[in-house]
């Protein structure tokens, strides 16, 4: 349950539109709902600003669908990451308006959070990094940020990045996804005055070591406004960038 939904419920109780018993029934699943195979944390958005998200990898399609359906039923935006088409099909049976974002491997249920006014730029070094970049973009967009995408602007051709620099500088937080040697976040970090969340991707030839080379390069960046997620963690970057962006407009 989001804070706005909880306040609305309490105002209805205060106004006499709901009885104490009806209010108690609506709050019965707080702070969490036990589905036996999962304990769905309905209180997370009240504590941390954004709701629980389902990591679908390793779960059955039915488990992913059931958790998403319960989050959605509480009036909270429901998102699953690393989900396949089978998980989406199972979810759609329970939540007909669910959507599948194939490139991002994400399922969303509902329209998402209302726009906060915060702005996030997702900067992607190459087309091969798009799966991770789209996971970040879908996450930030679904939870209320206004997202701008800048694709295929890696360091192999800096003129491509510089052509979009003014637009990137309008963001309250920048997500920068890159594989290979992972140099792009250092360049971007030196050109913008906001937090940069660097996401190493598992893209590159053998010595890239599945993203380890990019991870180490980003951790050793000389740009002090950079923080780094784990390899391919677009979701984590999108989540943190949204918190930054939402805070920027308060």
Residue 42's pLDDT band (cuts 50, 70, 90): low
Q: What value does the mean pLDDT take over residues 199-223?
A: 95
Identify the pLDDT of residue 141. 95
What's the whole-number average pLDDT of the chain? 88
Indicate the range of 29-43, 56-70, 127-141, 225-239 predicted with least confidence: 29-43
Residue 46's pLDDT band (cuts 50, 70, 90): low
Helix, strand and coil in the chain, % to nearest 5: 45, 20, 40
Task: Check whether 12 has a pLDDT greater than 80.
Answer: no
Structure tokens at 105: 């491997």
Identify the pLDDT of residue 188. 96
Residue at token pair 């913008």:
192
| Domains of the chain by start residue, with CATH | 3-109 (no CATH), 119-245 (3.40.50.1970)
Q: In what order do the strands lie in the sheet with 54-55?
A: 54-55, 78-81, 106-109, 99-101
Task: Give the count of beta carbons closer than 10 Å to the beta carbon of residue 243.
Answer: 17
Identify the pLDDT of residue 206. 93
Give the max Cα distance, the chain.
66
Identify the pLDDT of residue 249. 75
What's the pLDDT tens digit per position in 52-98? Answer: 889 999 999 999 999 999 888 877 888 999 999 999 999 999 999 99
Structural contact between residues 203 and 180, judged by C-beta atoms closer than 8 angstroms: yes
Structural contact between residues 171 and 119, judged by C-beta atoms closer than 8 angstroms: yes
Identify the pLDDT of residue 25. 60
Task: Check whether 200 has a pLDDT greater than 70.
Answer: yes
Identify the pLDDT of residue 73. 81
Identify the pLDDT of residue 2. 55
What's the pLDDT tens digit per position in 154-165? Answer: 999 999 999 999
What's the pLDDT tens digit per position in 175-197? Answer: 999 999 999 999 999 999 999 99
> At 45, is the secondary structure helix, strand, or coil?
helix
Which residue has better confidence, 234 or 11?
234
Identify the pLDDT of residue 28. 53
What's the pLDDT tens digit per position in 97-155? Answer: 999 999 999 999 988 888 888 999 999 999 999 999 999 999 999 999 999 999 999 99
- CA 76, CA 2: separation in Å to the nearest integer? 6
Identify the pLDDT of residue 50. 73
Residue at token pair 């209805």:
12
């Amino acid at each position: 349950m989001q804070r706005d939904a909880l306040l609305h419920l309490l105002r209805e109780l205060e106004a006499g539109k709901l009885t104490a018993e009806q209010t108690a029934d609506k709050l019965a699943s707080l702070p969490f709902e036990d589905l036996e195979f999962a304990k769905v944390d309905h209180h997370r958005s009240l504590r941390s600003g954004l709701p629980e998200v389902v990591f679908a990898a390793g779960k059955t399609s039915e488990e992913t669908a059931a958790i998403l359906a319960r989050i959605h039923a509480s009036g909270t935006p429901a998102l699953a990451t690393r989900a396949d088409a089978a998980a989406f099909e199972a979810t759609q049976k329970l939540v007909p308006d669910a959507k599948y974002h194939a490139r991002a491997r994400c399922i969303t249920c509902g329209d998402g959070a209302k726009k906060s006014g915060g702005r996030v730029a997702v900067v992607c070094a190459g087309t091969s990094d798009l799966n991770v970049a789209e996971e970040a973009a879908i996450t930030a967009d679904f939870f209320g940020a206004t997202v701008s995408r800048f694709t295929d602007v890696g360091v192999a051709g800096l003129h491509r990045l510089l052509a979009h620099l003014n637009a990137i500088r309008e963001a309250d937080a920048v997500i920068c996804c890159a594989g290979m040697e992972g140099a792009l976040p250092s360049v971007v970090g030196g050109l913008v005055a906001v937090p940069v969340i660097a996401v190493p991707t598992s893209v590159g030839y053998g010595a890239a070591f599945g993203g380890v080379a990019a991870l180490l390069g980003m951790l050793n960046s000389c740009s002090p406004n950079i923080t780094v997620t784990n390899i391919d963690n677009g979701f984590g970057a999108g989540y943190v960038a949204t918190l930054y962006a939402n805070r920027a407009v308060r």
